[in-house]
Amino acid sequence: MDWGRAKNVLIYAFLLLNLVLSYQLWTDVREQANTNLDFTSLGANTQKVMKEKNIQILSLIPSYTPVLPKITYHYLSGEGISTPVVLDQPIDSKLVFIGNDLVKALANQIPQINQYQFDSTSREDGIFVFLPLVEEKWPLFNDQTRLSLIYSNQKINSYQLSLIDIVPSNEEEQQKVLPAADALGTLIDNNYIPPNSVVKDIKLGYYGETFNSENQVAAPAWRFTLENGVYYVQGISGDVISPKTEKVKE
């Protein structure tokens, strides 16, 4: 064996591997930079208020501003969450946190489960909350449209679900969603967020108040999850909606 030649081959192989890994690292860093902004994306006054009131942001601030339409939806099986349905075969609750394994395990028992996304910020005793997806990407923030997986003793035993049909609204043209940094600035600058608060999660989806009507309407909205409440900022108008937390004024 020509050990000198073999040595050269190994050296070139390691160099090639390092180049591939370096490129992958550079790509990951670039993607992260393109999808998230640091606190400098917030206005100077907003940063000043955050410091004065000890408001902490633990979530990365998304930078994407997609063009999205309003949507309409209606219930297919009666309004509101259905009564619990017992699974024929209970499954291990840890599958909720393991990629597509949950979908594979429950596809035969809950055929629509691939249309829902786990909402890790919605914490309820004995329940995993899943939200329906608009265009397979944007969650619909509505307690009456969610999928609830009910578990005990580390097993998912039953579920609750209200089926809906979602269609784009033709009333208005699609519009670019306002930046998350601007929406967050509105909450902080106008005293919606109390002192010493922690913003744990920032997510873009759809939100609309529920009315006594066959068809419901929802618009793009940023959801800001705090330790003590949730705020929504309408993604087009910038209006603030705080269904679970009162606005705080000094």
Say whether pLDDT at 151 is over 60.
yes
The pLDDT, as a whole number, for residue 81 is: 61
Ranges of CATH 3.30.310.160 domains, the chain: 73-167
Close Cβ partners of 120 (under 8 Å, ≥ 6 residues apart):
201
pTM here is 0.79
Q: Which has more pLDDT, 99 or 44?
A: 44
Amino acid in the structure at residue 60: L
pLDDT band per the 50, 70, 90 thresholds, residue 30: very low
Looking at residue 140, what DSSP letter applies?
A: B
The pLDDT, as a whole number, for residue 98 is: 83
Ranges of CATH 2.40.128.690 domains, the chain: 38-69+169-241
Say whether pLDDT at 225 is over 60.
yes
pLDDT band per the 50, 70, 90 thresholds, residue 247: very low
Amino acid in the structure at residue 104: K
Say whether pLDDT at 76 is over 90.
no
Close Cβ partners of 145 (under 8 Å, ≥ 6 residues apart):
73, 131, 132, 162, 164
Q: How many whole angstroms separate alpha carbon 81 and alpha carbon 161? A: 6
Close Cβ partners of 143 (under 8 Å, ≥ 6 residues apart):
81
The pLDDT, as a whole number, for residue 96 is: 92
CB 132 within 8 A of CB 161: no
pLDDT band per the 50, 70, 90 thresholds, residue 33: very low
CATH topology of domain 38-69+169-241: Lipocalin (2.40.128)
Write the pLDDT tens digit of every residue in 60-75: 999 999 999 999 998 8
- Per CATH, the architecture of 73-167 is what? 2-Layer Sandwich (3.30)
**Burial class of residue 109 (count of CB atoms within 10 Å of its CB; 0-12, 13-18, 19+):** middle
Q: How many whole angstroms separate alpha carbon 114 and alpha carbon 104? A: 9
Say whether pLDDT at 3 is over 60.
no
- Give the H/E segment covering residue 164: strand 164-168
Q: Span 95-121, mean pLDDT?
A: 89
Percent pLDDT > 70 in the chain is 77
Q: How many whole angstroms separate alpha carbon 219 and alpha carbon 65? A: 14
Lowest mean pLDDT among 35-39, 56-60, 120-124, 217-221: 35-39
DSSP output for 204-250: EEEE----SSSSEEEEEEEEEEETTEEEEEETTT--EE-TTSPPP--
**Range with the largest mean pLDDT of 28-37, 47-56, 212-221:** 47-56
pLDDT band per the 50, 70, 90 thresholds, residue 8: low
Enumerate the β-bridge partners of residue 127.
124, 150
Average pLDDT, the chain: 82
